[in-house]
Amino acid sequence: MKHQNGDAPDRLLVIIGGSGTGKSTLARTLQARWLPAQWLHFSADTLLHCLPQMVVDSANQRNDWSSIDRPLLRSSTHACLHALLDAGHRVIFDCVVMSERAARDLVVSLRVCGPYVVRLTCSWDETRQRTFSRGDRTLEEAERGFQTAGEHLLADCDVDTTGRGPAEVADDVIAAIAQRPRAMAWRENLARYPIEP
């Protein structure tokens, strides 16, 4: 399916949700759907995997993040995202937002970007099954994301991915954007997390 006006946001789509909800899969599916327009898929994992493999394995497989400066990783991710947008790229950015601090940091960083926000959810049974199948995250991390990832930001579009394939989920997102192309939720997120003096 080729890119047509109205089925994609202007330059930035943010996908939020816990681990295992299908954020990366949706991003890749939308990239293919929106061709010939070229959208980059970017996330904090992009930078995480620049670290030594031993550090990444400790974080992902043992849930030991003690050797990673998470606020620095988050701010660096946001800086890279801004660099991509400033260079003229269209970006699909996926992230797990599990705290008010992380939500505030994202909103403050993207305050002038006005992204369209999609939130993915999934049942705990399927999230657990996907986590076991992937084998690159701990069940503890997946459970924390399941419990907290949807609490801190409002979204323009909510999609439950339980029992659904990526094409069907992408159809729902594209239809939602076509019906409501303006990123309205971001205004409410800005009001919720005002810039502190």
Q: Which residues lie below 8 Å from residue 20, measured CB to CB, with a gap of 6+?
A: 122, 126, 127, 128, 130, 131, 134, 137, 142, 145, 146
Amino acid 39 reads W
Domains of the chain from N-terminus onward: 12-192 (3.40.50.300)
Q: pLDDT tens per residue, the chain (197 residues)?
A: 344 444 677 899 999 999 889 999 999 999 999 999 999 999 999 999 999 999 988 888 888 888 898 889 999 999 999 999 999 999 999 999 989 999 999 999 998 888 999 999 999 999 999 988 886 777 887 888 888 877 899 999 999 999 999 999 999 999 999 988 778 899 999 999 987 65
Q: Which residues lie below 8 Å from residue 191, measured CB to CB, with a gap of 6+?
A: none
Cα separation, 72 vs 83, in Å, equals 16
User: Considering the entire predicted model, what is its pTM?
Assistant: 0.89
Could you give phi then psi for residue 72, rounded to 5 degrees? -70, -40
Amino acid 176 reads A
